[in-house]
Copies of this chain bind each other. A is one copy, B any other.
């Protein structure tokens, strides 16, 4: 248990603010802490979201032939049928190898300012190529992946259209740019929570509204805030049974041992199981564990019920993506 001083301060101030008697006052506070989800995440400078790039990214996202086996694509673990994740504890990749960590959803991932559980990449462009090369995921060198893509006229044309004026557009950097552009379209607007934040008080029922209050009053909001319900920061958390050292592996900084990036809570009800090793498969247990570990408290059953009901209100409209016809 390592409740952070800042976390408690925020929680205390939130609790204070929420003693205000009217919903209108509460709402102002809530909107400031959470923010409704914008239509698109920030687009990094130096990149664009052209239709051609998004289309190419969609093809590449579903393309299994840039894996050594020929059957694993981004969509294998980030499965559109499963909340763009895989709903198994830890990722399964090349030759059935099981990874160390749970697959994070790509939904709304453009709103995160740190990618992977350990934040080893700052943005989706940095993230996109890792799983292609990883021995236990797609297990293909980027050189070979580019060679395979170059065999197809349709890909050569699609890269040329997405990166006009470039001499040699089929290259790893452009693979990353295209996949990231596509991923930035995978957002889930109009969740009950978002509709509530935008003024539709009927969008969340009473239990969900009580859950929101508990979420704020107890300080969950200290880390889970902003439009994506994640501060994109790293917090130490010892998950029973996990030996994963988290961000320490990236930084070597002792303070980062067992620290993980705060995951988004958007669509959390459909992106189980939870935590870095996926060892907890229901929201009640996940919330209780978070309360104990991060806040030093046990929630009562009715509190848990309300917080979980609130978390269910985070489920937005899934992107309707047409499966591409690959060459």
Whether a CB of chain B sits under 8 angstroms from the CB of A79 is yes
Closest partner residue, chain B, to A63 (CB atom): B81
Interface residues of A in 43-83 (CB under 8 A from B): 62-65, 69-71, 76-77, 79-82
Q: A321-B323, A322-B320 are in contact. Are A92 and B71 (CB under 8 A)?
A: yes
Q: Which residues of chain B have C-beta atoms less than 8 A from A249's C-beta?
A: none
Q: By the criterion CB–CB under 8 Å, are A70 and B92 in contact?
A: yes
Q: Which residues of chain B have C-beta atoms less than 8 A from A9's C-beta?
A: none
Q: Which of the four size classes fits the interface of chain A? A: 20 to 34
Q: Which residues of chain B have C-beta atoms less than 8 A from A76's C-beta?
A: 71, 76
Q: Which of B62, B69, B92, B318 meets A92, CB within 8 Å? A: B69
Q: Which of B65, B79, B88, B270 meets A88, CB within 8 Å? A: B65
- Cα-based distance from A69 to B87 in the complex (angstroms): 11
Closest partner residue, chain B, to A67 (CB atom): B92
Whether a CB of chain B sits under 8 angstroms from the CB of A118 is no
Closest partner residue, chain B, to A93 (CB atom): B71
Q: By the criterion CB–CB under 8 Å, are A88 and B70 in contact?
A: yes
Whether a CB of chain B sits under 8 angstroms from the CB of A325 is yes
- Cα-based distance from A283 to B323 in the complex (angstroms): 25
Q: How many copies does the complex hold?
A: 2
Q: Which residues of chain B have C-beta atoms less than 8 A from A318's C-beta?
A: 325
Q: By the criterion CB–CB under 8 Å, are B71 and A77 in contact?
A: yes
Whether a CB of chain B sits under 8 angstroms from the CB of A206 is no
Interface residues of A in 268-327 (CB under 8 A from B): 270, 318, 320-326
Q: By the criterion CB–CB under 8 Å, are B70 and A326 in contact?
A: no
Q: Which residues of chain B have C-beta atoms less than 8 A from A325's C-beta?
A: 81, 270, 318
Q: Which residues of chain B have C-beta atoms less than 8 A from A79's C-beta?
A: 64
Q: Which residues of chain B have C-beta atoms less than 8 A from A77's C-beta?
A: 71
Closest partner residue, chain B, to A70 (CB atom): B88
Q: Which residues of A contact B (CB under 8 A)?
A: 62-65, 69-71, 76-77, 79-82, 86-88, 92, 94-96, 270, 318, 320-326
Contacts A64-B79, A71-B86, A80-B323 known; list 9 others, CB within 8 Å.
A63-B81, A64-B82, A69-B96, A70-B87, A71-B77, A71-B88, A76-B76, A96-B96, A270-B325
